[in-house]
Amino acid sequence: MTPAPEQLAGADRHTYSAFGIDLELDPRISIPGLARTVTATTAPPTQVRLDPEELQRRWEARTTAPTRTREVRHGETTIRTIDFAEPAGYLLWNRDHGRVLISSDGLELLCDPDPANEQWATIVVAQALPLAATLRGLEVLHASGVVLDGRALLITGATGAGKSSLAAALARAGGSLLSDDAVALELRDGALVAHAGSLALQLRAAEDERLSTPERAALGRAAGAVEGKQRYVSANAPAPAPLGGLFLLERATAGPALEPLAAVSPFELLASTFNLSVRTPERLQRQLDVVTAIAAGDFVHRLRVQPDVDATALAKLIGEHMAARDILVEL
């Protein structure tokens, strides 16, 4: 039986931040990679609670028929669904992980885990928190990211293109990890600011084996293997940082490895959007505002992964390019 919220009133609720929002986390939920909050914002924190009974009660009390806003399938098997109904909010279900109900304002997450999966809470940081951040006014991109020399560098691309490998290489070169998979952007007084997501980075076993002990240490604390990948958790989250560059990663056999794009369609950038479930007019306008600001800000580069170029070489190329651009700006 899950304790009622009043029974947890005196418990040590842990305060964290991720995707630009503060979080109060039920002490019974463990999520590797969340940064502890040092200075809370004036905005109320999002509550994350383990409460299957309350989740079920609220979903059954819905007053509108559920609308399926997202469905992910692998062949004939359904992997993930998101359904929306008033006033309950967004019900996320993920196979082998369980359910999370996200309130319509993003201020509360109720969790109903799959008891057979000790790693069930990964779905909270991988899917539920980005959705909550979107509901709270941020725009989350499906991107890996680091802060290097005070600026956020984001890497987008198809699954398997090498985003995590490049983020790891940039971290080894002195960058601080923003996220392995999703980064929240905020349009603040006309400027784009990037917020850290999960500080857990996952590398394929073959790639991890090629790293030296000091290179592994630069990635953070080793935190075991997840689905065949070695996980590292950074000790500290970087502060929110201004956007410095967005790199569209693709595998190619020809063309320059790094190509600044003088013009890019905002609709091409929409492909990097992380969340497809929130379809309110306010969110759609904000989404367009963010991608338009990216397109207009001289941030976007095409990054082509050649067969004979590894992530370390690409990270060096990015560092040299950003440093040279700084020199040109100063001139």
Question: 171: closest CA among 219, 214, 100?
Answer: 219
For residue 14, is pLDDT > 80?
no
- Tens-digit pLDDT profile for residues 15-46: 899 999 999 999 999 988 888 875 445 589 99
CA distance 176 to 201: 11
- Tens-digit pLDDT profile for residues 152-178: 999 998 877 789 999 999 999 999 999
Which of left, alpha, beta for 202 (phi over 0: left; psi -120 to 50: alpha)?
beta
pTM check: above 0.75: yes
Q: What percentage of the chain reaches a pLDDT higher than 90? A: 66
Q: Is residue 160 exposed (0-12), middle (13-18) or buried (19+ Cβ within 10 Å)?
A: exposed
**78 phi/psi in degrees, rounded to 5:** -80, 125
Question: 231: closest CA among 203, 198, 191?
Answer: 203
SS3 79: strand
Q: Is residue 290 exposed (0-12), middle (13-18) or buried (19+ Cβ within 10 Å)?
A: buried
- Tens-digit pLDDT profile for residues 239-254: 999 999 999 998 888 8
Which pLDDT value is given to residue 41? Answer: 57
Angle, CA of 32, 33 and 35, to the nearest 5°: 120
For residue 136, is pLDDT > 60?
yes
Dihedral sign (CA 282, 288, 290, 293)? negative
SS3 82: strand
Which pLDDT value is given to residue 4? Answer: 42
Which residues, 6+ apart, have CB-to-CB distance to 215 below 8 Å? Answer: 172
- For the record, the structure tokens of 284 come out as 């759609």
Question: 178: closest CA among 212, 157, 201, 206?
Answer: 201
User: Tell me, what DSSP letter sits at residue 255?
Assistant: S
Angle, CA of 318, 320 and 321, to the nearest 5°: 65
Which residues, 6+ apart, have CB-to-CB distance to 260 below 8 Å? Answer: 298, 300, 301, 321
The radius of gyration of the chain from alpha carbons, rounded to an integer in Å, stands at 20
Amino acid at 293: A
Question: 233: closest CA among 183, 171, 161?
Answer: 171
Average pLDDT, the chain: 89
Highest mean pLDDT among 38-52, 125-139, 307-321: 125-139
Element (H, E) at 151: strand 151-157
* 160 vs 200, residue with greater confidence: 200
SS3 16: strand
Is the separation of the CB atoms in 114 and 139 below 8 Å? no
Which pLDDT value is given to residue 77? Answer: 96
- Tens-digit pLDDT profile for residues 42-64: 589 999 999 999 999 999 999 99
What 235-239 contacts at long range (C-beta under 8 Å, 24+ apart), as own/partner pairs, is: 236/35, 236/176, 236/199, 237/17, 237/35, 237/176, 237/178, 237/196, 237/199, 238/147, 238/176, 238/177, 238/178, 238/196, 239/147
- For the record, the structure tokens of 112 come out as 């109903």
Strand bridging mode 176-179 / 183-188? unpaired
